A and B are shown apart, each in its own frame.
Chain A
Amino acid sequence: MAKVYNWQLGREMLYPYEERHSKRQFAFVFNINRCIGCQTCTMACKSTWTFSRGQEYMWWNNVESKPYGGYPHFWDAKLLAMLERANPGGQVWNAAAVTGNRSPYGVFEGKTIFDAVSEEQNEEGETFQETSGRVLGYLPSDDDWDAPNIYEDTARRPENLHRRWGGEGASLPAHQSWFFHLQRICNHCTYPGCLAACPRQAIYKRPEDGVVLIDQQRCRGYRKCVEGCPYKKSMYRGTTRTSEKCIACYPRLEGKDDFITPDGVPIETRCMAACVGKIRMQGFVRIARDGTWERDPDNPLYYMVKEEKIALPLYPQFGTEPNGYYIPPRWVPMDYLVQMFGPGAAHAVEAYVCPSRRMLGLLQLFRVAQKIIARFKLVEGKKVGESEVSLPSGQKKTLEIFNDTVIGYDTKGRQVVQLTVEEPLFERPQEHYNSI
């Protein structure tokens, strides 16, 4: 295996192919805090790409409810357990070793799915590398692909259910539950597990935008990509005997189709364009020769991931350098967030709870236009209000609101949309209606 540099881990790691990078990379940010799990994105994708025979269980975009659910079931818990078995007690971060752009979250000292193939053993003492392949993973069973998100997000049984079933028998205590919705599409990873696992070299990364695709002509349906993708976003189709995956709606990204993009600029993918909760933003980032992101602070994605460090990769410890980033949910216990998003979680939550002036403006730009917003600018206005916010650490801070205007530009540098933050509106509580 070759050695490649993974900036999300802050170190080199093993990978079956030499390090190469696309000129720019398709990437996206999801703000988990605002998702209501309406599944509009899921159905937008389904009705566009996976409505045919043999694709019934395929959900290239799915929204699952954590910590209880997942699709396929327990996909992350299973892989985390495999990695723990391969490297007991060693899957840890050195969060103190932060060195700028090359290791913004510190250094991951554990084993990735590529490092661990020579460690994980079966009952006969054979390593995973000897028996299966180049990437640590597993093939989900048919049951695992069953029933995406059914009952995962049911906060409580219906009020009248007890009576309907006769009103007899033991009554169980109600759990005090919290959960959040995790939106998932293919991460179009820099070091894709699916690509590494494919024995046919049927999977490739486009040099122009880093989108990961499966060549349907070359694919023979061995399902090594299904096994090797840690996020389980490559799926087998029995009717064609090939595997399929999210294609990042590339006809929309290319901006070349007169019908889809008459302005000739990239527009958002279907799942993004359909989001009613305004939680999604996507675009492209420029990639430097060493694989890090070129400095571009006016690019919304660069600004959130690199400048503010408010959006984090999903399970970076898997080692594929995913290009999907998440603003972590701020009500979730920090241990859980660190496991899922790495050691940058505490900073990300604080930076989100009390956002900078520029960040507050940028948050308004999420999902306001069809076109991909390549650049944004903040025009400062006067202060119009403030409120007190509590950080997870318990510290109190003052969030200042300004009458700022944020402007989004498309890839041709034309203004797409303009938003102005106005004075916050306070409604007088009923008990104080006459207290002037």
Chain B
Amino acid sequence: MSKESNRRHGRDKEPEADDPMELRMVPVPGGDPVFMATCLIEEYARLGLDDEAILALFRQPIYQTHALYEERGEAWVRNLIRGVLARTGRLRVSVTVLHHIGGGDG
């Protein structure tokens, strides 16, 4: 057997929990990114965001659904948003903050 075939490559080694260089992102069994995206679209529709505002969240690299945006493209995402909004609509809420509210700094 050659030296080469004896060597264990990095990809063959099991992850070790105490290795500070260990990759953090590994898949967890179950879950569905498309279902996640659908849920998030519904959430923001309930907050009253329109399709362009929701699409902007997909474009952000730090947002949960950005991987789908990169993998499947903007047209696919637009279509998904349109489909969800056609089913749920956007919830519109009018807010009246009463006059004696005061104080605070934020």
- Give the interface of A toward B (CB within 8 A): 33-34, 36-37, 44, 67-69, 74, 143, 151-156, 158-159, 174-180, 252, 260-263, 267-268, 270, 273-274, 278, 329-333, 335-336, 363-364, 368-371, 385, 387-389, 401, 414-427, 429-430
**What's the Cα separation between A83 and B62 when bound, in Å?**
33
On chain B, the residues within 8 Å of A155 by CB distance are 61-67, 70
**What's the Cα separation between A417 and B97 when bound, in Å?**
5
Q: Which residue of A lies closest to B65 (CB)?
A: A155
The reply to whether B32 and A178 contact each other, CB–CB distance below 8 Å, is yes
On chain A, the residues within 8 Å of B64 by CB distance are 153, 155, 178-180
The reply to whether A425 and B90 contact each other, CB–CB distance below 8 Å, is yes
Q: Provide a sorted-by-A list of 13 A–B residue pairs whose CB atoms are within 8 angstroms.
A: A151-B24, A152-B24, A156-B66, A156-B70, A174-B67, A177-B33, A263-B101, A331-B38, A332-B31, A333-B31, A368-B95, A422-B93, A426-B85
The residue that A156 contacts in the complex, of B51, B67, B105, with Cβ under 8 A, is B67
The reply to whether A37 and B62 contact each other, CB–CB distance below 8 Å, is yes
On chain B, the residues within 8 Å of A414 by CB distance are 98, 100
**What's the Cα separation between A426 and B54 when bound, in Å?**
15
B43 proximal to A (CB < 8 A)? yes
- Give the interface of B toward A (CB within 8 A): 17, 20, 24-33, 35-36, 38-40, 42-44, 46-47, 50-51, 57, 61-67, 70-71, 82, 85-98, 100-106
**What's the Cα separation between A424 and B92 when bound, in Å?**
6
On chain A, the residues within 8 Å of B70 by CB distance are 155-156, 159
On chain A, the residues within 8 Å of B28 by CB distance are 67, 178, 333, 336
CB distance from B65 to the nearest CB of A (A): 7
CB distance from B57 to the nearest CB of A (A): 7
The reply to whether B88 and A176 contact each other, CB–CB distance below 8 Å, is no
On chain B, the residues within 8 Å of A262 by CB distance are 102-103
CB distance from A203 to the nearest CB of B (A): 28
Given contacts A37-B62, A260-B105, A331-B32, contact A429 B67 (CB under 8 A): no
